[in-house]
Amino acid sequence: MLKYLLKRVLIALPVILGVTIIMYTMISLMPGDIVDLMVEPNLSQQAKDQRRHELGLDRPVPIQYARWLGRSVQGDLGYSFVNSQPVSKRIGQRVGPTLLLSLTALGIAYLVAIPVGVVSATKQYSVWDYGSSVLALVGVSIPGFFLGIGLIYIFALKLHVLPVSGMRSLGVETTVDLIRHLVMPAVVLSVGTMGAVTRYTRSSMLDVVRQDYIRTARAKGVKERGVVYKHALRNALLPVITLLGLQLPNLLAGAIITESVFNWPGMGRLVIEAISNRDYPVLMGTSLLTAVMVVAGGLLTDVLYSAADPRIRFS
Amino acid sequence: MSGAVDMRPSNEPTPPNEPKPSTEPKPAPNQAENSDQVKHNVLRRFLRHKLAVTGFVLLALLVLLAVFAPYVAPHDPNFVDPVSMDDSPSRLHPFGLDTVGRDVLSRVIVASRISLSVGVVAVGIYVIIGSVLGSLAGYFGGVLDVLLTRVCDTVLSFPQIVLIIVIVGVIGPSIWNIMVVLGLLGWPQIFRIVRGQFLSLREQDFVQAGRAMGARDGRLIFRHVLPNSMGPILVAATFGTASAILTEAALSYLGLGVQPPQASWGNLLIQAQSITVIEQQPWLWVPPGMLIFVSVLAINFVGDGLRDALDPRLKL
DSSP letters, A117-177, are HHHHHHTTTSHHHHHHHHHHHHHHHS-HHHHHHHHIIIIIIIS--S-SSSSS-TT---HHH
> Quick one: how far is CA B309 from the chain centroid?
18
The pLDDT of residue A39: 59
Q: Which amino acid is at B90?
A: S
Over the stretch B165-203, which tens digit does the pLDDT of each residue have? 888 877 778 888 888 889 988 899 899 889 988 888 877
Q: Do B57 and B301 contact (CB within 8 A), yes or no?
A: no
Q: A142 to chain B, minimum CA–CA distance in Å?
A: 5
List helix spans (H) across chain B.
29-48, 50-67, 69-72, 104-140, 142-156, 160-171, 175-185, 187-201, 205-212, 217-219, 230-253, 265-268, 275-280, 282-310
pLDDT band at A40 (very low <50, low <70, confident <90, very high): low
DSSP-derived letter for residue B213 is T
Question: What is the per-residue pLDDT across B94-114, written as a single tens digit (0 to 9) for each?
Answer: 777 776 667 788 888 888 888
Contacts of A144 in chain B (CB under 8 A): 250
Bridge partners for A86 per DSSP: A79
CB contact under 8 A, A275 and B169: yes
- Contact across the interface for B278 and A157, Cβ inside 8 Å: yes
Write the DSSP symbol of residue B18.
S
Answer for the pair A268, A256: CB distance below 8 angstroms, yes or no. yes
> Helices A87-122 and A267-276, interaxial angle, to 10°?
130
Distance from CA of A138 to the nearest CA of B (A): 6
DSSP B222: I
The verdict on a CB contact (< 8 Å) between B151 and A18 is yes
Q: Is B297–A138 a contact, with Cβ atoms under 8 angstroms apart?
A: yes
Chain A / chain B CB contacts < 8 angstroms: 129
Q: Read off the pLDDT of residues A14-23 as tens digits, 9 standing for 90 and up.
A: 888 888 888 8
ipTM beyond cut 0.85: no
User: Is the distance from CB of A227 to CB of A218 less than 8 angstroms?
Assistant: yes
Does B4 have pLDDT greater than 80?
no
CB B244 within 8 A of CB B183: no
Chain B residues close to A27, C-beta within 8 Å: 166, 170
- Min Cα distance A2 → chain B (Å) is 23
Chain A, 37-56: which have a CB under 8 Å from a chain B CB? Answer: none
The answer on pLDDT for A175 being more than 50 is yes
- Mean pLDDT in residue range A172-182: 85
Q: What is the pLDDT of residue A205?
A: 87
Give residue A314's pLDDT. Answer: 59
CB contacts of B315 in chain A (<8 Å) are: 203, 207
Task: Give the tens place of pLDDT for each residue, B22-73.
Answer: 444 444 445 445 667 777 777 887 777 788 889 999 999 999 988 887 887 7
Return the residue of A nearest to B302 by Cα.
A137
A151 touches chain B (CB under 8 A): no
Instruction: Give the pLDDT score at B87.
Output: 65
> B103 has which bridge partners?
B97
Q: Distance between the two ends of chain A, CA-based, in angstroms?
A: 7
Among A145, A153, A249, beta carbon nearest to B159: A249
When CB atoms are compared, the residue of B269, B293, B315 closest to A141 is B293
The pLDDT value recorded for residue A243 is: 80
Beta carbons of A137 and B300 less than 8 Å apart: yes
Cα distances from A280 to residues A31, A33, A64, A105, A287, in angstroms, run 12, 12, 12, 29, 10
User: Tens digit of pLDDT for each residue in A101-146?
Assistant: 998 999 999 999 999 998 888 888 888 888 888 888 898 899 989 9
Residue B186 dihedral angles phi and psi, to the nearest 5°: -90, -5
User: Which residue did the predictor score with more confidence, B267 or B299?
Assistant: B299
Q: How far is A258 from chain B (nearest CA, A)?
A: 10
Distance from the A35 Cα atom to the nearest Cα atom in chain B, whole angstroms: 17
A166: CB partners within 8 A, 6+ apart: A181, A262, A263, A264, A265
Q: Is residue A23 less than 8 Å (CB to CB) from chain B?
A: yes
In sequence order, which ranges of A60-126 are alpha helices (DSSP H)? 61-73, 87-122
Judge: B250–A19 Cβ closer than 8 Å, yes or no. Answer: no
Candidates B152, B162, B174, B189, partner chain A, best to mutate (most A CBs within 10 A): B162
Residue A290 confidence class, pLDDT cut points 50, 70, 90: confident
How far does B93 lie from chain A, in Å, by closest CA?
A: 23
Residue B314 banded pLDDT, cuts 50, 70, 90: very low
Greater confidence, B316 or B225?
A: B225
- The answer to whether A9 faces chain B, any CB pair under 8 Å, is no
What is the pTM for the complete model shown? Answer: 0.82
Q: Given CB atoms, is A81 within the 8 Å cutoff of chain B?
A: no
pLDDT value, residue A86: 86
Contact assessment for residue A165 and residue A152, using Cβ atoms and an 8 Å cutoff: yes
Chain A residues with CB-CB distance to B303 below 8 A: none
Q: Chain B contacts of A294, Cβ < 8 Å?
A: 157-159
Residue B20, pLDDT score:
41
